[in-house]
Every structure is written in C-alpha cells, then in structure tokens.
Amino acid sequence: MGRPSFQIPPPPTDFARLSFPNPHILLVTLSRPKSLNCINSAGNQELHAVWTWLDAEPSLRVGIVTGEGRAFCAGADLKEWNESQKPGATPRKPLSPSGFGGLSRRRGRKPVIAAVNGLAHGGGCEMIINCDIVLASPSAVFALPEAKRGLVALAGALPRLTRIVGRMRAMEMALTGRNVPAQEAKEWGLCNAVCTDGESVADVAVKWAEEICANSPDSIVVSKEGIELGWEGISAEEGSQRLVDGLFNKMLGGENMKEGVRAFVEKRRPKWGNSKL
C-alpha cells in the first residue's frame, strides 16, 4: 500500500521506518538491527516527533511500534553514552518529556501498540511498559538490566511496572535484571497476548489496530483518557468527573456520536469521520 496523503507531513526519520498498513494506522519499525535497535539521543528526539505527529495528524488513529531483526529494542546506546563522558565530548541531547523512544512517559491522545518481536531490554522495556497494548512473539524477552551496568531505569518504568505486575515482581525485574520470557510476561500481565510460532507479531498488531479503527475515533480518544486518569492514581470518582467535564463534553453531540447511534438504529456499519478532539 502506498503512503496515504496527510494534512500534516510526517517528520523525517533516520533511525526508524514509517509505513502505513492501513490509511489510519502508523507502523514504526525501529531500524538499527546491527545495534539491536538501541536508541541514541538523536533517535529519541526523532521518535518524540513521530508520536507527536501521530496525535496531530487527523487521519491517523492507532500507532504500532516494532523492531527490525531479532530485537525490539536493546535500550539506550551505551556506546554513545560512554563517548559523551570523555573530556571535551559533546553532551548528549536530553530526553524529551515523552521519555525514552518518545513513549516511556508519553501521555498521548491516540493508542500505541507494542509489537515485541524479540528482546526488549532497558529502555526498550520501559517503552512497552507505557504502551497501551503489548503483543509479543514467542521469542520475546523483557528485562530491566540497568543494575548490571551500574545504572537505574529512570525513564518512567519503575513506578508504572509496580502498578502492572505488583511490588514483588517489579522488585524481581529491577533488582536481578533477569530476562522474563514472553509467556511469563503474559502471566504477569506485562503483555496482552503471545503470538503462535510462525505468526508475525507486527501482522497480528495490525489486526488488533484494525479492530480499534473499526470503532469511533472520538470514543477511542476519550476512553484512552479515562483509563489514563485511573493509571495516574486518582480516585475513580475524580477520574470519571474529569473525563465528563473535559474530553467527553467536547465529544458530546459530535458527528461521530450521532453517526454511531444512527448506524445502530439503521442496522448498518457506521462511517466514522476523523476525530476533532
């Protein structure tokens, strides 16, 4: 499929490939396979721009991130970090507010699915911990090995990991740095599903994204925000009220809401317009 036409042009990318398996779906493939798709400082800035564009481009509704080769992402480019510590070296660019890979601390409007095709270590694991849906190949492994290198996972993973898998399992991952295989990660709630042998995890992610795209884009944006409010640790009542007073009020009476009800009454599939939220 050729590249769709966009109201806003996509940002240029050197470290990732952008493709569009569906006019409403953005597939981002991390593309440094010889370096196990580790992300350097320029790559972090690039990915922040890509996910910002996903939220801004009206025709896009879901993002997917995967890796080229045998790794999803091996984390930060430690060779670059080591060079930056030498006397007279150029300082590395700081992380954007959206965190490692533009995802580990992102609070975006549109969902992002992680299609974990191989190892997700360090920053790569921090990215998936803050994605909205995580799918894994049978060979995927998850780890926070920072303590083995004298480092700490500071890109947002530790508090979020505790909320997902519980204190004891989060301690196990952070303090031992061990690999957690895909099936174990699913049992822990760290990923939604593990693909069968022979399935492409990116292809499976596209199918999940198409299911999302079949729904109202306004409802997706508002539902995601409601879950994010719970994720941030406020009470259910406060979160619900914020949602009603905020994004839901903007959605109320909009064309997609009217179209969804009309389609139900007329017993047909709805024809959604791009979200204006």
Nearest to 74 by CA among 116, 103, 20: 116
The pLDDT score that the predictor gives to residue 261 is: 79
pLDDT (tens digit per residue) in 124-153: 999 999 999 999 999 999 999 999 988 899
* Element of type H or E holding 119: strand 119-121
Catalytic residue check, 266: no
**Average pLDDT across the chain, whole number:** 91
> Which of 22-26, 48-52, 258-262 bottoms out in mean pLDDT, i.e. has the lowest?
258-262
Q: Is 155 a catalytic residue?
A: no
Given the residues 76, 120, 170, 202, select the one marked as catalytic. Answer: 76
Structure tokens at 91: 């300082």
Concerning whether 184 is annotated as a catalytic residue, the answer is: no
- The tokens for 35 are 């370096």
Range 105-129 average pLDDT: 97
**Amino acid (one-letter) located at 116:** V
Tens-digit pLDDT profile for residues 202-239: 999 999 999 999 999 999 999 999 999 888 777 777 77
Query: Is 124 one of the annotated active-site residues of the chain?
Result: no
In angstroms, the CA 138 to CA 208 distance is: 18
pTM: 0.91
Q: Which of 123, 156, 226, 239 is catalytic?
A: 123
Q: Each residue of 53-87: pLDDT tens digit? A: 999 999 999 999 999 999 999 998 878 767 667 77
Identify the structural domains of the chain with CATH numbers, from first to last: 16-213 (3.90.226.10), 217-265 (no CATH)
**Which among 142, 162, 138 has a CA at the least distance from the CA of 73?**
142
Instruction: Check residue 149 and give its pLDDT.
Output: 87
Q: What is the pLDDT of residue 237?
A: 78
Amino acid at 73: C
**Catalytic residue of the set 126, 157, 225, 226:** 126
CA-to-CA distance for 110 and 8, rounded, in angstroms?
A: 16
Confirm if 79 and 174 have CB atoms less than 8 A apart: no
Q: Which of 46, 57, 68, 146 is catalytic?
A: 146
